[in-house]
Amino acid sequence: MSGQGQRLNVVPTVTVLGVVKARLIGATKGHQLLKKKSDALTVQFRQILKRIVQAKETMGDSLKASSFSLTEAKYTAGDSIKYVVLENVGSATVKVRAKQDNVAGVKLPKFEYFTEAGETKNDLTGLARGGQQIQLCRSSFIKAVEVLVELASLQTSFLTLDEAIKTTNRRVNALENVVKPKLENTISYIKGELDELEREEFFRLKKIQGFKRREVEKQMLLNKKHAEVAALKQTASLNGGRGQSDNNLLQLEADADEDIIF
């Protein structure tokens, strides 16, 4: 793909080859690990998604029920009961605490609610009318709040997990499609270059060998000739014949010429 044909800008040497090979091994290992992480996250993600759907359905039901129980309370206790209850409230009784959960190295925020004891002073509200409905309304809204807190927790986990999965997948893909091909290309490039160098070297060596052999042969030939000339000269001087010596010289020259031509 995008990494195809690309390679690292390195000097093609054996050492670098070793380094790059080590990097490729590292990248493959990393790719495997990240792939596993991504899979684990996806499994978790699917589970959360399922739970979110369930929570949303219950939320719809419980909110519907609780708002209708508010209507019932208003019906029996009068419209102004809303304000009476509101004015009676000092601080929140249901509070939310944030925790962290760890899934495959991803920190997921988790909310859990807890009730602060000793804050429920609405016991006697609507004593003369609709007290029971108010209590029912209260409990059904508490249930709704519980579902909402759970849903909030799931939703934040969902978002964080989504982000984490995206980055992990990006890394997996980057490793698979960019880094690894690049390293492989580099390795093949270096190997190619090294082979080339080797061939060149071999050829050079062969050439030099041939040259040397010829050189040696030539030297040997020359030596032979010199030896012959020397031998001739020796015989001529031994015979003392000029003409012969001239003849010999001519022949020698012709030989030398021949040699020059050759």
Partner 1 sequence: MYGFEALTFNIHGGYLEAIVRGHRGGLLTAVDYNNLCQCETLDDIKMHLSATEYGPYLQNEPSPLRTTTIVEKCTQKLVDEYKHMLTQATEPLSTFLEYITYGHMIDNIVLIVTGTLHERDVHELLEKCHPLGMFESIATLAVAQNMRELYRLVLVDTPLAPYFSECITSEDLDEMNIEIMRNTLYKAYLEDFYKFCKKLGGATSEIMCDLLSFEADRRAVNISINSIGTELTRDDRRKLFSNFGLLYPYGHEELALCEDFDQVRGVMEKYPTYNLIFAKLSYGESQMLDKAFYEEEVKRLCLAFEQQFHYAVFFAYVRLREQEIRNLMWISECVAQNQKSRIHDGIVYIF
- First and final CA of the chain: distance in angstroms? 61
Please report how close the Cβ of residue 61 comes to partner 1 at its closest, in angstroms. Answer: 12
Which of 95, 99, 129, 204 is the binder for partner 1 (CB under 8 A)?
129
Q: At what angle do helices 242-261 and 180-239 cross, to 10 degrees?
A: 170
Distance CA(129)–CA(85), nearest Å, equals 13
Q: Is residue 28 classed exposed, middle or buried when 0-12, 13-18 and 19+ CB atoms within 10 A define those classes? A: middle
Q: E strands, the chain, where?
A: 94-103, 106-115
Please report how close the Cβ of residue 67 comes to partner 1 at its closest, in angstroms. Answer: 6
- For partner 1, the closer CB: 91 or 100: 91
- The interface with partner 1 within residues 16-75 (CB under 8 A) comprises 64, 67-68, 71-72, 74-75
- For partner 1, the closer CB: 35 or 74: 74
133 binds partner 1 (CB under 8 A): yes
80 binds partner 1 (CB under 8 A): yes
Q: Is residue 38 classed exposed, middle or buried when 0-12, 13-18 and 19+ CB atoms within 10 A define those classes? A: buried
118 binds partner 1 (CB under 8 A): no
Please report how close the Cβ of residue 57 comes to partner 1 at its closest, in angstroms. Answer: 16
41, 218 in Cβ contact below 8 A?
Answer: no
Which of 108, 126, 137, 248 is the binder for partner 1 (CB under 8 A)?
126
Angle at 97 between CA 92 and CA 98, to 5 degrees: 145
Give the range of 11-19, 115-123, 144-152, 199-207 binding partner 1 by CB under 8 A: 115-123
203 binds partner 1 (CB under 8 A): no
- For partner 1, the closer CB: 75 or 211: 75
128 binds partner 1 (CB under 8 A): yes
Please report how close the Cβ of residue 151 comes to partner 1 at its closest, in angstroms. Answer: 20
Phi, psi of 101 (to 5 degrees): -120, 145
139 binds partner 1 (CB under 8 A): no
The count of C-alpha atoms lying within 13 angstroms of the C-alpha of 125, restricted to the half-sphere facing its C-beta, is: 25
161, 41 in Cβ contact below 8 A?
Answer: yes
Residues within the interface to partner 1 (CB under 8 A): 64, 67-68, 71-72, 74-76, 78-80, 83-84, 87-90, 121-133
